[in-house]
Structure formats: structure tokens, C-alpha cells
Chains A and B, each alone.
Chain A
Amino acid sequence: MAATEAARDVGREPVAGFPESPAPSARVPRILTSVNVSPVETGGPSGAADRGRLAELVERHTPFVRRYLRVLGAADDLEDLQQETFVALCSGTFVEHGDVATRAFLRRTARNVFLRRHRGRLPQVAAADEVWDRRCGHDADGSRAVELLRECLQRLGDRARALVDATYRDGRSRDETARAFGMSPDGVKSALRRIRRALAQCIERRSQP
């Protein structure tokens, strides 16, 4: 049971500024599923089906968790924060109750994991939550916003699209991109600022009902 307690520390640790979480049983309906019968809770080795289900959940929700952590402010520590978030999912306190509940669990866990590592950034997290809810939707995983952005990217000119790809897809530095495009680094910075503004406006327009 020690592992269960440890996982609770990660997933349900009260964070300054946030209301104390209610008892687990009051917060998440304990509907038994294959995930619920975790190795930690049962004290024995889990079956392949349980592990496979966990792996599937981790895989399915990884894009959402990464996206959300990035909005919170994760940078170099993104991988570690992501990992810590999923540890809670795999350690026995999580009870599967559909995608929305799973995302809520992961979002809460990710927020606490982030704040535990970055104490004092509560205002930043609150702002990130506000932006996430506004742009992606409270219960959503951000995939709709990604789709909208893809549509907007298709409307970019070839050179602008290549600049975006070099920066975001290939992870090239500003200097590298400048060399490749025959521009100055400041020119790349300005161009990207303009492109980003245009893309943000495009998403805004397309997300209007």
C-alpha cells in the first residue's frame, strides 16, 4: 500500500492556493475497471491485459499532457514532468472512468507536479488554465486547436511555411534558420512574430461558431 500512498502524493498533493482535494472516494467514482485492479492495489503482479491497458492510456493521453504542460510553462523539464504525471496513472490511485475523467485526473496531476517543481508560479499556472479553457475547452485535449492550426498553416505561403517547419518541426535555432534562408537572425525573429500573429488570428476566426 506504500506505493498507493506515494502515488497519492503525486496525484493529489494539496498545493498552496488550491483548495484541499476531497477524499479520493468522494472525487472519483470508484468504478472497477481493468486499470483499477492495479498491481499496487492487489499486491500481486498485474496481468498483461492491465499493463496493456495502462500503456494504451499513457499513449493516448501523452499529446494532451505534453501540450498542457507546455502551456503551464514546462520547457527543459517537460519530459520529467510528463513522466511524473503518468506515474500517478500507473501507480494504483487512478480509476478509469472515461476519457474526460482521465484528462481531468491528468490535468490536475500535471498541474500539481508542475507546481511542486516550480513553487511560486501559481499566477502563471492560473493564467495558463484560463488560456487553456478559453482556447481549447475545459474538458478538451487541445486536438481541435491543433486541427485548426493545421488548416491555417495550409494557407501560409511556401517561404513562411518553410520557416515555420524549420523552427517548430525541425527545432532549428534562429541562427541556423537565418543561414538557411539567407536572412539575418533578427529578420527571422520578426518574420516568425508576424507569422505567429497571423496564425493566432486565423485560429481565432475559425474557432468562432
Chain B
Amino acid sequence: MTTSETDHATQLREAEERLLDALLEDATATAATRRRTEASPTVARLLVAAMLLLGCGVVLAIVVTTRLPPEAVGSQDPDLPEAVSVRGADELAALDPATQNVCYTALDPDELAGLGRLSELRAFELVVEDGGQHGTEVDEAAWREAGAGVLDPLRACRELRSVTLRYAPGFDHAALCTLGDLPQLRTIVLSGTTHVVDAHVAAAWSKLALVRVELLAVRVTADGFAGLCELPVLRELELDACLHLGRCDLTRLGRLRQLRELALRSVGGRFPASLELGSPLPGEVAPPVELAGPVLQEPEVLHTGLPSGGPGSLLLQPPVMRAIAGLPELRVLDLTSAVVDDRAIAGLPAGLHVLDLRTVVGLTPVAIASLARLEQLRELRVSLLEVAAPPEGIAVAPEDLAEAFQAVLPRLALETLDIRGPADESWARAAARCESLRRIVVDDAEVAAVLSPALQGGDVVLEIR
């Protein structure tokens, strides 16, 4: 046998092994998470009958389920070099045309024309000079006048895969539609109440194969939200303190069948509710200042999200949770500072690998006990900080929540436990009862010092965040 024949035989053997691996992963997937489109002959006959009885759409929705991915994988480009920060037209002009990752602080919209020469740009972040920092004030009128075409220079950047637009006073939201003309774009990050995602923006973005959308304190219209939920290959959606979500049909999240990571931070929280007063949707009028009240004067509002009924109350109603639970690929769910009730937690998707429950409002021992059904959960993030009361009822004391978490730990197959707040040695004892646990993440060395004696001799690694 020649060397080349031996090599080929080796390649064939390895391919056979990989095929068996792939088949085993599919064949052992549980019924609830199995990714299969085919059916055995018997099942196929039953399906045909069911289709006739129930309608094709319903049956296909049931049959076309998917199986677990090995781990949630972020969409960040691992080969992307570190961002180069530049400020102003002169620094931009001095930039190497081959620069791939730029964080640009713009003083004037005309400066953006200089971006056109960065033909190899793959990631771009725009920060509009926020005034005061460098003794200058942002010229809102100039950005408004630049209008929809302000981002046109980016069209020359044919390799652009990620665009981040920070808070930008005067920035014309129609410019967001321009992003739809950047064919390679996979990630869009918007931050700030100046941005509005409406039906036009969502329609423009629907021309892209977006993988990740991150919206932080962005105004979202009902039509805009519906449009976002039609992005066919979206894997990661992060909605952090987004405004006016109370007017959106959150059950539409169930249409994002490829979604792997979902963050619903501060959904129903007081933070976005208070921002909504001063940032109405286009065409609406903000109430007088005295009615709107001081926004975010209470420091705890930022992390407690206390709603007071009306806007900002519980949005994660059972139909919404059912829609989320039906997402076949979802593995990471971040509910930081969201408002929940027992039903919402009981309705969490069974296939979750990572769950973030830090500073969630409305968490109770009953809800925490229901986490035991999450058999695939590998990482749980909790906090021991004082949170405000839920919309109806009183807040459960942090020590009671801690006790409930510790009680459920042995029933979970966790590998990582992330604790925010002053954990005491009782957590170490609880961790010892969770056989699968390998890693605990804490805030600081002080907490680590409390836990480490009880963890010595075990397999658990203690890490400081």
C-alpha cells in the first residue's frame, strides 16, 4: 500500500468515526430536544393522518424540533484584532487603511466620510462626542441635518460584519436603515434612547443574515419588534432595558427558531419604565417634566427594577414564557433585573444550559424550587443583593432566597455557580452537595476567603470575577 493510500485509509477511518459521533449525538438526543425532521415509517403514517386532522402547519411545528448544540457559542469573530480607538477626523485620516476594527469618536457627521477608505473594516463602533468630556458640545442639529445618509460612507466597507452605534443625540434613526445595505453585516448593537427600531428599520435589517442584535435602552415599536422576530437566522438577541416593550407582542419571540441566547434584562423593570416617560416613541409627546418626575434619582432603581403597576409591570406572562420555552435552540437565558413571578420561572425552557437570575424582581423560594426541572442546566448566576418588591406582594429576604437556592443545588447538574453578593460559608456547604459543580465565581477576595476553607480538598475551583 502506498503512502497516499495509507493516508486516504486513515482519512476514511477518521471520517467514519466523526460520522458515528454525529449520529450518536442525534440518536441520543432526548425527545424534547431531538433535532429531527424525519420519521420512521410508522410515525410518518401517523404524521400524515395528523396533518390531515390538524393542518400541516401545526404538525410541522411539532415535528420540526431541534436538538441540543454542544454549548452556546457566541457570534464574536475570534480572529478580529483589538479595536483601534480614534477620535476626530485627523486621527481617522491617519489610520492604516487596512485597519479591521475601529472605535471612532466622531465630533461632526461630515467626518464619517473618511471611513470610506477603510476597505478592510470588519467591525465599527461609533460614539458621538457626548459634550463636556473634551469641552465640546454635541451639535445635534448637524447630526439631524446629516439625516438618513449619515452612515452612507460605510457602504464602501464591504467586509463590515459588526456595527455598534452608541448614544447619539440628534442622530437620525432613519440612518439605521442604511445598515440594511451592508451585505456582510451579522451583528448590530444599538445603545441609547436616541435610537428607534421601528417597522422600517426592521424591514431594512431583514435583508441581512443577522446573527446577533443587541439593543440597550433603545426605543422599540410594536411593528419594529415584530420585524425583529422574523429575522430567520438570528442566534443571539439581547434586549436590555429596552423602552416601550410593554406595547410589543413578546410572544413573537417564539418565531426566532434559531435563537440560542436571549437576554431580557430589566424587562418589566422600573428602569426602562422611567426612561419611557422622557423618551416617547416618534410622534408622541413626552409628559411635562413635573409629571415625568426625576428619572433614575434613586440609585437602587438601576438594579432593582421596581415596577409600580402600569408600564413596567410583569411582562413575562405565561404566553410569553410558553413562546420562549418553545424555542428549540435556546440555551442561554439572561433575566437580569427582569420582573418575574412563579409561573414565569416554572415555565423556563427545559433545555437551558445557562440561566442568569441576578437581581430578578419577584423571585420566591417556590420559583427557585422549580428550577430543579432544568436537568440540562450547567451554569446558574444568582445574586444575594437586596431587591425591591414585585408588582404585587413583598420582596423575599435575600437570606430566604439564598436558602432556597442552596436547597435546589443538589438537584441540579451545575458545573458553574456564579454568586453576586456577600456569600457566606453556607454556600460552600451547599456546593459540596452538588456533585457536578466544578467552579464557583464570586465578587471579590473577601468572599473567596470566606468560602475557600470549606471548599478545600474538593474539586471545586473558586474564581474571583
Contacts and interface: CB of A to CB of B under 8 A. Distances in A.
A87 B209 contact: yes
Contact of A6 (B60, B183, B233): B183
A146 B39 CA distance: 10
B28 to A, nearest CB: 4
A62 interface: yes
A209 B14 CA distance: 25
Given A58-B233, A63-B35, A146-B38, 11 more contacts: A55-B255, A61-B37, A70-B19, A123-B7, A124-B15, A131-B15, A131-B19, A132-B15, A135-B19, A168-B24, A196-B17
Contacts of B211: 83
Interface string A152-195: 01000000000011001111000010000000000000000000
B218 to A, nearest CB: 20
A170 B28 CA distance: 9
A193 to B, nearest CB: 10
Contacts of A90: 209, 232-233
B207 A147 contact: no
Interface of A is mostly: helix
Contacts of B15: 71, 124, 127-128, 130-132
Contact of B207 (A40, A60, A146): A40
A80 interface: yes
14 contacts: A2-B158, A3-B207, A40-B183, A46-B207, A59-B66, A66-B22, A72-B18, A79-B260, A91-B209, A130-B12, A141-B37, A145-B23, A147-B40, A169-B29
B23 A142 contact: yes
Interface of B: 7-8, 11-12, 14-30, 35-38, 40, 60, 64, 66-71, 73, 75, 158, 181, 183-184, 186, 203-204, 206-209, 211, 230-233, 235, 255, 257-258, 260, 328, 376, 413, 436
A51 interface: yes
A164 B38 contact: no
Interface in A1-51: 2-3, 5-7, 39-40, 45-46, 48, 51
B19 A79 contact: no
A126 B232 CA distance: 31
Q: Which of B11, B208, B231 has the most CB of A within 10 A?
A: B11
Contacts of B328: 59
A76 B447 CA distance: 34
A67 B230 CA distance: 26
A128 B36 contact: no
A78 interface: yes
Given A80-B73, A150-B27, A164-B28, A63 B36 contact: yes
